[in-house]
């Protein structure tokens, strides 16, 4: 039996499945990853821009980067990987088994593909908040008139995402950690697995006895039992079709 067939069997037999996704799952929707060769924006390292320090030093620059990415996310479409994960959830739930999709992505594409049990560890790019008061707003799907954009309470608008050094939303992290107690299969898709506490979920799942599987064209930092080498948009539809029947990931909810 090859690795793909082993994962198909694991999907069929699992009582509870958790999937952790990263930027790679949206690469085939045309969105840039952070650490890939196309990640830099106008000569800026995205890992430096995604910090409170960058926003304090140059709010206009950071606002412009996020506004461009916000509009890019709104214009993007879920790809076959997002759609396969939504189908996987439907199959498992219909069979009375548990499922949770934990994403580090802020683009909203999993929900738009039809996934329901989704935990967004790093927030969402379509919601912004006043950097002084924290009051949230959902801006219209048009470019901001200026950068930074004034907030409703006299501050600047910043995206409602989690930057380095900031705490993750506590309810989201707690839900992801609680799932490690019931999952027996943990699937890691399209993440370099170097950012914590998200990457720690993989170690936590393995420590609690789950089989850990990776789907990625490059091996990540994650310590997993099985690596499926390839693009998520190729491998995930094949896995779901082999586990639950041909064509089973082709329709959205």
Active site residue 122: yes
β-strand partners of 136: 129
Question: Is 166 a residue that touches ligand BJW (CB under 6 A)?
Answer: yes
State the minimum distance, in angstroms, from the CB of residue 2 to ligand BJW: 19
- Cα separation, 163 vs 218, whole angstroms: 25
Query: Which of 12, 30, 164, 207: binder of ligand BJW (CB under 6 A)?
Result: 164
Q: Which stretch binds ligand BJW (CB under 6 A): 6-14, 27-35, 174-182, 237-245?
A: 27-35
Q: Are 137 and 70 in contact (CB under 8 A)?
A: no
Query: Which of 36, 139, 169, 204: binder of ligand BJW (CB under 6 A)?
Result: 36
Question: Is 232 a residue that touches ligand BJW (CB under 6 A)?
Answer: yes
C-beta of 15 vs 48, nearer to ligand BJW:
48
Longest dimension (CA), the chain: 62
DSSP element (H, E) containing 103: strand 98-103
Q: Which residue is nearest to ligand BJW (CB)?
A: 24
Query: Which of 115, 124, 220, 249: binder of ligand BJW (CB under 6 A)?
Result: 220
Q: Are 194 and 139 in contact (CB under 8 A)?
A: no
Q: Which stretch binds ligand BJW (CB under 6 A): 148-156, 174-182, 212-220, 244-252?
A: 212-220
Give Cβ neighbours of residue 186 (< 8 Å, ≥ 6 apart).
17, 18, 19, 20, 180, 201, 202, 205, 206, 210, 211, 212, 213
Query: Which of 96, 140, 165, 209: binder of ligand BJW (CB under 6 A)?
Result: 165
Query: Which of 4, 6, 35, 117: binder of ligand BJW (CB under 6 A)?
Result: 35
Binding track over 175-204 against ligand BJW, x by CB under 6 A:
---------------xxx-xxxx-------
**Coil, strand or helix: which one is 213?**
strand
User: What is the b/e burial string over 4-31, where b = at least 16 CB atoms within 10 angstroms of the residue's CB?
Assistant: eeebbebbeebebbbbbbbbbbbbbbeb
Q: Which stretch binds ligand BJW (CB under 6 A): 127-135, 137-145, 159-167, 241-249?
A: 159-167
Query: Which of 63, 124, 149, 216: binder of ligand BJW (CB under 6 A)?
Result: 216
Q: Are 213 and 49 in contact (CB under 8 A)?
A: no
DSSP H stretches of helix in 124-247: 170-179, 198-207, 232-244
C-beta of 168 vs 210, nearer to ligand BJW:
168
Question: Is 134 a residue that touches ligand BJW (CB under 6 A)?
Answer: no
β-strand partners of 124: 160
Question: Which residues sit at the interface with ligand BJW, rule CB under 6 A?
Answer: 22-24, 27-28, 33-36, 50, 104, 106, 122, 161-167, 190-192, 194-197, 216-218, 220, 231-233
By annotation, the residues acting in catalysis are 122
């Amino acid at each position: 039996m090859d690795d793909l067939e082993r994962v198909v069997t694991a999907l069929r037999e699992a009582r509870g499945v958790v999937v952790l996704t990263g930027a790679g799952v949206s690469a085939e929707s045309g969105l840039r990853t952070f650490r890939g060769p196309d990640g830099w924006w106008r000569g800026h390292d995205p890992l430096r821009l995604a910090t409170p320090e960058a926003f304090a030093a140059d709010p206009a620059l950071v606002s412009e980067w996020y506004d461009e990415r916000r509009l890019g996310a709104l214009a993007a479409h879920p790809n076959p990987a997002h759609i396969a994960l939504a189908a996987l959830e439907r199959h498992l739930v219909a069979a009375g088994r548990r499922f949770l999709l934990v994403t580090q992505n802020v683009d909203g594409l999993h929900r738009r593909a039809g996934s329901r049990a989704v935990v967004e560890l790093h927030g969402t790019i379509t919601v912004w908040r006043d950097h002084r008061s924290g009051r949230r707003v959902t801006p219209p799907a048009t470019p901001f008139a200026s950068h930074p954009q004034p907030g409703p309470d006299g501050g600047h608008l910043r995206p409602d995402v989690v930057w380095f050094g900031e705490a993750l939303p506590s309810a989201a992290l707690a839900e992801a950690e609680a799932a490690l107690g019931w999952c027996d299969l943990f699937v890691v898709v399209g993440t370099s697995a170097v950012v914590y506490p998200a990457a720690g979920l993989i170690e936590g799942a393995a420590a609690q006895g789950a089989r850990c599987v990776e789907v990625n064209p490059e091996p990540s930092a994650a310590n997993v039992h099985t690596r499926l080498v390839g693009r998520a948009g190729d491998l995930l539809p094949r896995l779901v079709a082999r586990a639950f029947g041909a064509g089973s990931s082709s329709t959205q909810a």
